[in-house]
Amino acid sequence: MPQRPSNKVKVYVRSRPTNNFASDAITLGRDNRTISIHRVPSTNIVDNKINDWAFHLDGVFHNISQEDIFNFVAKDVVDRTIDGYNGTILCYGQTGAGKTHTMTGFTESYPNRGIIPRTLQHLYQQINARQEFSYTVRIAYLEIYNDSMCDLLRSLDSSPEYQQQQQQQQLSIGEDSGFIYIKGLSYRLANSEEEALNLLFEGETNRAIGQHVLNKQSSRSHCIFTILIECRSVLSSDDKYTASKLNLVDLAGSERLAKTNSEGVTKREATFINKSLSFLEQAVLNLSDKKANQSHFRSSKLTHALKDSIGGRCHTVMIANIWPEIEHLEETISTLRFASRMMCVPAEPTVNEVVDPVKAIENYKRENKHLKEELALHDTLANRHGISYDPLNEQQLHEIENQCRRYVDGSVDEIQVKNIRQVQAAFNSFKTICRTTEKDVEKKYRDRFVTPDKHEYDHQDSQKMSNVSQATSSINGTAGELDGQNFALGTVSKDQRVNKDALLKMTRNKRQAGAKSSTGQLLNSKDKFSPVSLKPTGTNLQRNLTNDDDQLAHTRESNELAEAKDQRPSTPPNRAVAFEDFKQTRGLNLNKIYLENKEILASKKKQFAELARHINQVKGDIDNTRNDAERKKQERLTMGEFLNENGETIIDEEEYELIAKLQELKSSYRNDYEQWKNLQSEINYCQNLVNQCQNRLLQG
């Protein structure tokens, strides 16, 4: 597949497999790089809206496997990250389009694992193959839920002190020389693929997942899985090493609230998700526009955390997940528009070289020592003796200062220069002498011409004000200043004031009148239901008989319901029966996945045991063949060696076959051992999948 120039962000589209593909509205190009959309107008009225779109991307994948997605999209990014470049792979799309399936793929079977576990497997395979370098891998897992950051690996340290510290300390984003880091986020050391997968499973357990209209297990937060890689050369003692970062971003899905009708917590989560994705789109627009000066990266936690991961010095790849059904056509168009904007973001990845301070200091000390030895050699050749290049002590500095003072006074005509340290100390002494002289001259002028300054005037004014306040207080007969002084509104005459006795009498009369009216209403209501008015006539008697029949029928139905309740079991079924019923009803799909993963795990273990037996057998054949070859060599040495014209040893056919067989067995042993190691990591991954499915079944 042809590629665009590497100075732009790579964007790929992956469509979710569906039986209701909107073939009338969505057309995939034959070159696997274009996608066309045609929207049929809902009415015959001309509204001048755009109904046709054509998007050109780096790749369009439909009905493609997880392995092919990793090979086409992520593998090159991982390899470049190992070489020292920063990399980012992010999945963007609507809710239910398959972002989490593409990135992790946990609830599926082992062949359908996502980009993150395949990245870890490929990473450690490459590290083991590069023996001339020493690698250090650290992993962090960040979650952004409702614009609040959370460390998904915080549960690994269960000490009370650490938990209390985590509660008091909140995560914050820092920036240093253009690099973004999260204060308080834990970076866990992962020495093997197994440790890295355990960290991944631990973080996935702590993620915020909720049920949604479009997805039963929808990711309600943005998650960033970060891999830090430090690479040092084992063969050289250079103080530089590479430090790279790979961000694997699983963005939460965007949605239209008017269409999904989300309520409560789901609506609040969707509001935060849409808001953060809008800020992300604004940041992408500014990056793609060369004339834009304003940055929107600090508008949300998501954009700030991804500031150094989108374009620039980072190798960025985006996967736009779409749901190609007619009812999701608007969301598909919105996703493809964002993908087109992302393609305009410039990216020029560079290797991140870092200077090791410890090795740098050692190299500087070694170089300083060599320079001193070279200076001593030059001084010896120039007949200069007694010259020291060490830092000057206090006595030497005091002597240089006295020489400078004598030079200024005129008692010394010149100062003999010995080295550069003496020159620097002399200039410092001259600076001290000049400043001291300026202060002495300024002090003499102040003593000669004395004038009151502003502070003295302020002191006199405050003294006068205090005298005035004392005089005023003596006249009024009070002490201090008045507090809470307000302006007056005037006085009210006695005739216009409220009479308290009249007010109480008026309230008492109203209360008595209200009591009489309520009593009259109560008597009137009693007259309506007096015994005289309740005497049954013929019609009333018939009505009463009908009511009695209805009451008997209602009583009979109540008795039947009571008998039905008595026939129900008084105790719920036991846990085993309930668990089996759950596996056949609501947990049917999960149980099916659990059985598939368990079957794959059993086959992997069987293959692992067979391969181990084969390796042991090959090891035995290697030992036997080596002994036979050694025996033939001893026989040849005993009989005497024969050399050809070029001086090479001549061996017989049997010994040659033994040597060739030994090399073939060694090659087979190495290949089988590598396969055995890979199979061991696959077994650990499958075991984690089985444990996760089992826990979800028990919690369901």
Would you list which residues are annotated within the binding site for ATP? 93-100
Rounded CA separation 338/316 (Å):
15
Task: Answer whether 84's CB lies under 8 Å from 352's CB.
Answer: yes
Other beta carbons within 10 Å of 482 = 7
Relative to beta strand 353-355, strand 642-643 is: unpaired
DSSP line for 1-22: -----TTB-EEEEEEPP-SS--
CA geometry: angle 682, 683, 685, nearest 5 deg = 65
Rounded CA separation 683/184 (Å):
34
In the annotated binding site, the residues are: 93-100
Task: Answer whether 178's CB lies under 8 Å from 224's CB.
Answer: no
Which residue type sits at 230?
Answer: E
Task: Answer whether 35's CB lies under 8 Å from 335's CB.
Answer: no
Which residue type sits at 578?
Answer: A
Task: Answer whether 662's CB lies under 8 Å from 624's CB.
Answer: no
List the one residue out of 531, 589, 102, 16 whose CA is nearest residue 325.
Answer: 16
Rounded CA separation 32/59 (Å):
6
Q: How many helices (H) and strands (E) does the chain have?
A: 19, 19
Rounded CA separation 269/215 (Å):
14
Look-up of token digits 């009451």: 551
Task: Answer whether 89's CB lies under 8 Å from 115's CB.
Answer: yes
Quote helix, strand, coil % in the chain, to nearest 5. Answer: 55, 15, 30
**CB under 8 Å, gap of 24 or more: what pairs does 414-417 form?**
none
3-state secondary structure of 322: strand
Other beta carbons within 10 Å of 356 = 15
Rounded CA separation 288/9 (Å):
10
Listed in sequence order, the residues at least 6 apart from 406 whose beta carbon sits closer than 8 Å to its beta carbon are 412
List the one residue out of 278, 293, 391 whose CA is nearest residue 338.
Answer: 278
Q: What are phi and psi of 100, to 5 degrees?
A: -65, -35
Give, in order, the Cα–Cα distances in Å from 42 to each of 45, 46, 47, 697.
9, 11, 11, 45
Task: Answer whether 322's CB lies under 8 Å from 335's CB.
Answer: yes
Compute the chain's Rg from CA coordinates. 44
Rounded CA separation 342/330 (Å):
19
Rounded CA separation 678/674 (Å):
6
Termini Cα distance of the chain: 45
Other beta carbons within 10 Å of 13 = 27
Which residue type sits at 2?
Answer: P
Relative to beta strand 10-15, strand 59-62 is: parallel
Rounded CA separation 292/284 (Å):
11
CA geometry: angle 204, 207, 213, nearest 5 deg = 115
Give, in order, the Cα–Cα distances in Å from 128 to each of 87, 124, 232.
21, 6, 14
List the one residue out of 394, 393, 395, 391 whose CA is nearest residue 372.
Answer: 391
